[in-house]
Amino acid sequence: MSDKQIQKSKARDHHRSHILTGVRRFEHSSNDRWNLSALNKYKRTSKPKVCRCLRYSQRAVQRPSVSEIRDRADRRVIEFRRSQKGVIMYVELFKLLGAIAVLWFCSEMLIKSSKALATRLRISDTFVGLTILSIGTTLPELALHVIASVNILQGTDISGVALGANVGSNIFQITAILGLVGLLMTVRSTRNFLETAYVAMLMSIVLLFVFGLDEKLSRAEGIVLAILYLLYLWHLGEVEHFVGKVKHESNKHDSKHSVLKHIILVIVEFAVLLVAAQVAITSAEFLADAWGVADSLIGSLILGLGAALPELAVALAALKHKSSGMSLGVLVGSNITNPLFAVGIGAAISTYTMPNEILWFDIPVWFAVSLLPFFFFWKKNQMTKLQAATLIGCFILFAVVRLRYFAQGI
């Protein structure tokens, strides 16, 4: 073999090895675009036999393996589940809004029964707001706490939903609702009201904060909160001579039938409240998981606003009848009933876990915005339009900061 033939043979072998190197790169690389361009380049510069080898290698590489088929199937299943999850999320959101509407409607019926009973007993509007109406409007929060405590006993810890709904409802009432009433009418107060009922409200907030410092609310602490609320009601009743008025009206035959009718209505409506609260709790838990946010955020904003609808309805009804004392009484009374009675009953059923975002952000904000109306009323015994707008702005600021910085919890 001549030197010229030897050089041609070496060049052919080198070219063929260069092509095979490209085939191996095509087979092992994860970049399909580079593979196809490189393969076409080698096919254009190679001989027919090598091109057939490359075409066979291309078909072999493009044929999916069993693992690739499984991966594609898994991806399709995940995409299908995501699409179904979106549909389910809208269904759960609709169920949550419907449950909130039922809570509002049943609470409104309870409020009407309570007002009729209070009118028959001839007691003051402020006393009605602090006791009967505040208890009636707190029934949604109370129902949420009872259902949440039952779920906790069954192994699902949704303390953040219950506590968030309670605190969020209170913040909404003392800022947005009171501010709205203050914009539409002149809200007046007395020094005696501020020194008794309003101070009791501030002390209940402080007590809830102190009990939650160990990041839980035990059954014993819940019982203490409930007992303190009952003592507070007894004190109000003694001041208003409530027991004597009840005894006087109970001697009338017609009053007995009226009271029995209201009691039956309260039992039926409270049963419906419990069912609606269960639906609201379940939907809120699902949405918190689907949106990837803390359950306390769902409780503070969505459930909190929904649970405060009865207070809003009462405040607007009192506005229609020009009774600012009842509006202020029901808002302050609800802010006493919620942390003492509703939280106390729920914690007495099952121990609550106190989320950090509620303990270190929601409750301090609640206390701070509650001090503003106290100073407003203390100065002139009434609230101006600018002060009312300030309260509404405080709630908007709270909602924005809560969503922006504490959506995932602390």
207 shares a domain with 85: yes
Q: Please give the backbone phi and psi of residue 75, each rounded to the nearest 5 degrees, phi first.
A: -65, -40
Asked whether residue 69 is assigned to any structural domain, the reply reads no
Asked whether residue 262 is assigned to any structural domain, the reply reads yes
Reading the chain (410 residues) residue by residue, the pLDDT tens digits are 566 666 666 656 655 555 555 545 544 444 444 445 555 555 455 444 445 454 444 444 455 666 776 677 667 655 655 555 667 777 877 887 887 777 677 766 766 666 666 666 666 666 766 777 777 777 777 888 888 898 899 888 888 888 988 898 899 899 998 998 889 888 888 888 898 889 999 999 999 999 999 989 999 999 999 999 999 888 887 776 655 655 555 555 555 566 667 667 766 766 676 677 667 766 766 776 666 666 566 666 666 666 676 777 677 766 666 666 677 888 898 899 999 999 999 999 989 999 998 999 999 999 999 999 999 999 888 899 999 999 999 999 998 898 888 766 66
314: containing domain: 76-405
Confirm if 340 and 166 have CB atoms less than 8 A apart: no
195 shares a domain with 101: yes
Asked whether residue 197 is assigned to any structural domain, the reply reads yes
Q: Count helices and strands (H / E) in the chain.
A: 22, 2
- The pLDDT score that the predictor gives to residue 209 is 95
Asked whether residue 401 is assigned to any structural domain, the reply reads yes
168 shares a domain with 19: no
- The pLDDT score that the predictor gives to residue 193 is 87
pTM of structure = 0.66
Q: Where does 122-156 have alpha helices with state H?
A: 125-128, 134-137, 139-153
Furthest-apart CA atoms within the chain: distance in Å? 135
198 shares a domain with 233: yes
- The pLDDT score that the predictor gives to residue 58 is 46
Using alpha carbons only, how large is the chain's radius of gyration in Å? 34
- The pLDDT score that the predictor gives to residue 231 is 92
CATH code for position 312: 1.20.1420.30
Asked whether residue 226 is assigned to any structural domain, the reply reads yes
Residue 143 tokens read as 């129902």
- The pLDDT score that the predictor gives to residue 345 is 94
- The pLDDT score that the predictor gives to residue 380 is 85
Cβ of 85: how many Cβ atoms within 10 Å? 12
Cβ of 93: how many Cβ atoms within 10 Å? 16
Reduced to 3 states (helix: H, G, I; strand: E, B; else coil), residue 36 is helix
- The pLDDT score that the predictor gives to residue 26 is 46
Cβ of 135: how many Cβ atoms within 10 Å? 21
Q: Please give the backbone phi and psi of residue 182, each rounded to the nearest 5 degrees, phi first.
A: -65, -30
- The pLDDT score that the predictor gives to residue 339 is 92
Reduced to 3 states (helix: H, G, I; strand: E, B; else coil), residue 352 is strand
- 16: exposed, middle or buried (C-beta count within 10 Å: 0-12, 13-18, 19+)? middle
Distance CA 12, CA 20 (A): 12
138 shares a domain with 49: no
Where a domain ends, among 63, 92, 108? 63
126 shares a domain with 31: no
50 shares a domain with 196: no
Asked whether residue 359 is assigned to any structural domain, the reply reads yes
233 shares a domain with 89: yes
119 shares a domain with 22: no
CA distances from residue 264 to 89, 122, 141, 213, 271 in whole angstroms, order as listed: 37, 22, 21, 40, 11
- The pLDDT score that the predictor gives to residue 33 is 44
Cβ of 19: how many Cβ atoms within 10 Å? 19
50 shares a domain with 28: yes
Asked whether residue 410 is assigned to any structural domain, the reply reads no
Asked whether residue 68 is assigned to any structural domain, the reply reads no
13 shares a domain with 95: no
What total of structural domains would you count in the chain? 2
356 shares a domain with 272: yes
